[in-house]
Structure 1
Amino acid sequence: MEKIQMNVPLVEMDGDEMTRVIWQQIKDILLVPYIDLKTVYFDLGLKKRDETEDRITVEAAEATKKYGVAVKCATITPNAQRVEEYNLKQMWKSPNGTIRAILDGTVFRAPIIVKNVKPFVKTWERPITIARHAYGDIYRNVELKVEQKGKAELVFTGEDGQVVKEVIHNFGGPGILMGMHNLDGSVESFARACFSYALDQSQDLWFSTKDTISKKYDHTFKDIFQEVYDREYKDQFDAKGIEYFYTLIDDAVARVIRSSGGFIWACKNYDGDVMSDMVATAFGSLAMMTSVLVSPQGHYEYEAAHGTVTRHYYQHLKGQETSTNPVATLFAWTGALRKRGELDKLKDLVRFANTLEKAATDTIEQGVMTKDLALLAEGEKVVVNTRQFLEEINARLIKMI
């Protein structure tokens, strides 16, 4: 067949360890034979980030702003052990955190559904998408360990010199303190990204915080969401026949567990971190999750929701066979290709991305899968290694196109 053409390239961000190996296999087996694949390539492997003093991560994020759609492989966020292992100049920050900050983006994660991997919550029939705010709160906190009696105060000194103080606690002995912050502008961007994504997906949007306890911090999130919705999105939601509503997070959890799915659940940063893992585990596996970072300006960065699968990589280096699930990485590619096709009005590219995803889920539903899924799936199963799994997908893809 003639290869599908692309007009505008994707921003391609390569990664680390086993996912880097899988990344190339996906391209070789499932993409390059069918698409005249155009990408602007950035190597975000740890060695290259160290070599460029992490400038390459910033350049990749800026390129995403320029071209509009990116696809990213899983990368290492180094700890002390990784600094020693890779002989790094310093303990570089998370590439995901850097990219999120530059794009001012919101992370949307949703499970990939296959019929023979049943959710642990029996009522869930459709995917639940978690929209996670990616700025501030506990992830930019300041902490202090208190060793003696004393008074802790929250102090703000205005640009005009005015000082505002609130007593946090009068300590009668040792304890701990933590300060958190967020920005109205970031919360507005979060809200717009959520509302825009809900319209794009034609799904209801839920938002939850704990404003009954946090009457200023969390209540500000609630107020900003409502203001942005009423001012900019209500008419569009009404026209689409979809709903936005706010509820307390404890009420949201109860609603989610009793629901059939098929909606977007917007959460503050920490809540989204926890709830996305809960939803992923209840649906089956982090290796069966889509993840896309969406900016309020309409830039998209697709990635796998899991790590670099270090243990399998060390086995791979020894020449041992590995059965690593590539589905999340594959769906990062298909998500980016579909969005590129939608933006550029390339129906063949959109159709190919959809067909490739169907080939992947059909392969699993027909009992051929990697080891991790075999532990979860019902019915008869054939366990294969990663390359064999990709080739099985390709065999079905050939028949479908």
Structure 2
Amino acid sequence: MSSQPVVNVCEKLGRLLLRSRSTIHGNKHAAFISGRKNYSSSRRIQLSQPVVEMDGDEMTRIIWAKIKERIIFPYVSVDTQYFDLSVTNRDVTKDQVVVHAAEAIRDCHVGIKCATITPDDDRVVEFGLSKQWPSPNGTIRNILGGTVFREPIICQSIPRLVPGWDNPIVIGRHAHGDLYRATDFVTMKTGVLELVFTPDGEGEEPVRMPVYKFKTPGGIGAAMYNTDESIIGFAHACFQYALMKGYPLYLSTKNVNLKNYDGRFKHLFKETYKQYQDEFQKRGLWYEHRLIDDMVAQCLKSTGGFVWACKNYDGDVQSDMVAQGFGSLGLMSSVLVCPDGKTMVTEAAHGTVTRHYREHLKGNSTSTNPIASIFAWTRGLNHRGLLDGNKEVQEFSRRMEKACIDCVNKGNMTKDLACLVHGRQSVKREHYLDTLDFLDAIIAEFSQQE
């Protein structure tokens, strides 16, 4: 382990040295950038550096356009590098549009992403796709690295399924390897399943480990991996994020069963903590490892107010559980924090709202919650402002987020939230607004702050 001190992400993000160093893309991504758009006006907040905008699918794509039109670009002038990540365009470009979007994010350090479809077998047929393309989020994460942090957007008027959760619970998901990069197979024969590791060094013999003897025909197997480099980077991100939020940090694994695999996570976190222990103790914070089953139980009994570091699959599952416990997936922000400490990708934590999209195609009005998508824009623009030292856009982002929350707390909300307040069986039409009226209510609330 290196003894060199690690600079906190919160320090890195605030450094003026990070200002305006990203390059504008020329021909490098020309075939994949659907358009470079400048939303300029002398009355708007001016941003000198671009952001990467990634469009998505179905109802969230419709709402995305309305958010830009009504919520963001009337107030902010920004150059966007636009990539169409709809499932049909990913098919046309053989998924290369996702790769080029990730490379553009690496250059300009800010990506703002709409929800997208990860196609299953039915979706392949529905859209006539040439193959079942992988998750664009997974592709972006594997190119950029980093940790996904999901945090609830708390509205006091929205009842919680877990009423004791008074403070946010931030899920830090190690979005690398494990089940999401596993190799699995099905066999219809008897035989022996082995795990073989072949060292690169000359003359070194392969290491063979028996896994299972299939005595009857038919079975399944899988192998997965992770790396010290990725786990250590995950640990640093979690410790730094916990310090930035002022929360204690918990890591959950199942090291009693996966003694080597999960044990490695526990060991590397323990070693990494040595670089942060003094600062944690100075702030009255702590780090602790817990078994995943114990952590879930403790989480439900807690009052919140901590960062929970999860392995890839655990983070995928528990982030949805936490979101629902706080009220709704529609009130959950998602941020990918990359290892360089300055690159960030923001998005909504929910899906593409297929059911509402089908109603929209019929010409029917929908009441779709846009808050998480608005927060994707505000968090991304706030990060752009942080990198560039633009206090004005940071203040805009804070005020727009406050307008969303205040709007809901005053009783102006979409149907999903009204169902939480009044009960699904008791909710009436006067209890909620359709999507466009809700956006107008947010704008009115924002204007009253001025």
The alignment's TM-score, normalised by the length of structure 2, stands at 0.84
Shift of 1:86: 2.8
- In structure 2, C-alpha distance between the alignment counterparts of 1:314 and 1:64, rounded to whole Å: 32
Q: Secondary structure at the match of 2:399?
A: helix
- Residue in 1 aligned with 2:224? 180
- Residue in 2 aligned with 1:320? 364
Residue 267 in structure 1 maps to residue 295 in structure 2: no
Residue 143 in structure 1 maps to residue 184 in structure 2: yes
- Residue in 2 aligned with 1:396? 445
- Residue in 2 aligned with 1:289? 332
Shift of 1:146: 4.6
Q: Which moves more between the two structures, 253-262 or 83-92?
A: 83-92
- In structure 2, C-alpha distance between the alignment counterparts of 1:35 and 1:168, rounded to whole Å: 57
Q: Which amino acid aligns with 1:400?
A: Q
- Residue in 2 aligned with 1:207? 251
Map 1:2-401 to 2 at 5 A. Answer: 2-159=43-200, 160=202, 161-174=204-217, 175-230=219-274, 232-298=275-341, 299-377=343-421, 382-401=431-450
Q: Where in structure 1 do 4 or more consecutive aligned residues deviate above 6 Å?
A: none
- In structure 2, C-alpha distance between the alignment counterparts of 1:99 and 1:153, rounded to whole Å: 32
Shift of 1:90: 2.7
Q: Which amino acid aligns with 1:355?
A: R
Q: Which moves more between the two structures, 354-363 or 1-10?
A: 1-10
Q: Which amino acid aligns with 2:172?
A: A
Shift of 1:75: 1.0
Q: Secondary structure at the match of 2:393?
A: helix
Map Cα deviations across residues 10-61 of structure 1 (whole Å, 9 max, x no partner).
2111111111110111111111111113322222122322222222211111
Change in Cα spacing, 1:17 to 1:115, as seen in structure 2 (3 Å) is: same
Shift of 1:208: 1.1
Shift of 1:377: 1.6
Map Cα deviations across residues 232-280 of structure 1 (whole Å, 9 max, x no partner).
3334434444322222222222221221111110010111111111111
- In structure 2, C-alpha distance between the alignment counterparts of 1:390 and 1:226, rounded to whole Å: 46
Change in Cα spacing, 1:94 to 1:325, as seen in structure 2 (3 Å) is: same
Q: Which moves more between the two structures, 287-296 or 28-37?
A: 28-37
- In structure 1, C-alpha distance between the alignment counterparts of 2:258 and 2:302, rounded to whole Å: 27
Contact 2:333 2:376 in 1 (8 A): yes
Map Cα deviations across residues 87-122 of structure 1 (whole Å, 9 max, x no partner).
333322211011000111211111111112122122
Contact 2:49 2:78 in 1 (8 A): no
Q: Which runs of 5+ in 2 are unaligned?
A: 1-41
Contact 1:104 1:296 in 2 (8 A): yes
Q: Which amino acid aligns with 1:154?
A: L
Contact 2:184 2:220 in 1 (8 A): yes
Q: Which amino acid aligns with 1:392?
A: A
Count of matched residue positions in the alignment of Structure 1 and Structure 2:
400
Q: Secondary structure at the match of 1:170?
A: strand
Shift of 1:71: 0.7
Shift of 1:148: 5.0
Map Cα deviations across residues 136-195 of structure 1 (whole Å, 9 max, x no partner).
212222233454554332222222441222222334334432222212222122112212
Q: Which amino acid aligns with 2:291?
A: L
Contact 2:176 2:312 in 1 (8 A): yes
- Residue in 1 aligned with 2:30? none
- In structure 2, C-alpha distance between the alignment counterparts of 1:378 and 1:297, rounded to whole Å: 45
Contact 2:159 2:327 in 1 (8 A): yes
Change in Cα spacing, 1:82 to 1:146, as seen in structure 2 (3 Å) is: closer
Change in Cα spacing, 1:249 to 1:14, as seen in structure 2 (3 Å) is: same
Contact 1:117 1:378 in 2 (8 A): no
Q: Which moves more between the two structures, 234-243 or 187-196?
A: 234-243
Shift of 1:200: 2.3
Q: Which amino acid aligns with 1:242?
A: L
Q: Which moves more between the two structures, 136-145 or 101-110?
A: 136-145
- In structure 1, C-alpha distance between the alignment counterparts of 2:194 and 2:85, rounded to whole Å: 42
Contact 1:153 1:166 in 2 (8 A): yes
The alignment's TM-score, normalised by the length of structure 1, stands at 0.94
Change in Cα spacing, 1:359 to 1:189, as seen in structure 2 (3 Å) is: same
Q: Secondary structure at the match of 1:131?
A: strand
- In structure 1, C-alpha distance between the alignment counterparts of 2:362 and 2:187, rounded to whole Å: 49
Q: Which amino acid aligns with 1:67?
A: C
- In structure 1, C-alpha distance between the alignment counterparts of 2:98 and 2:279, rounded to whole Å: 36
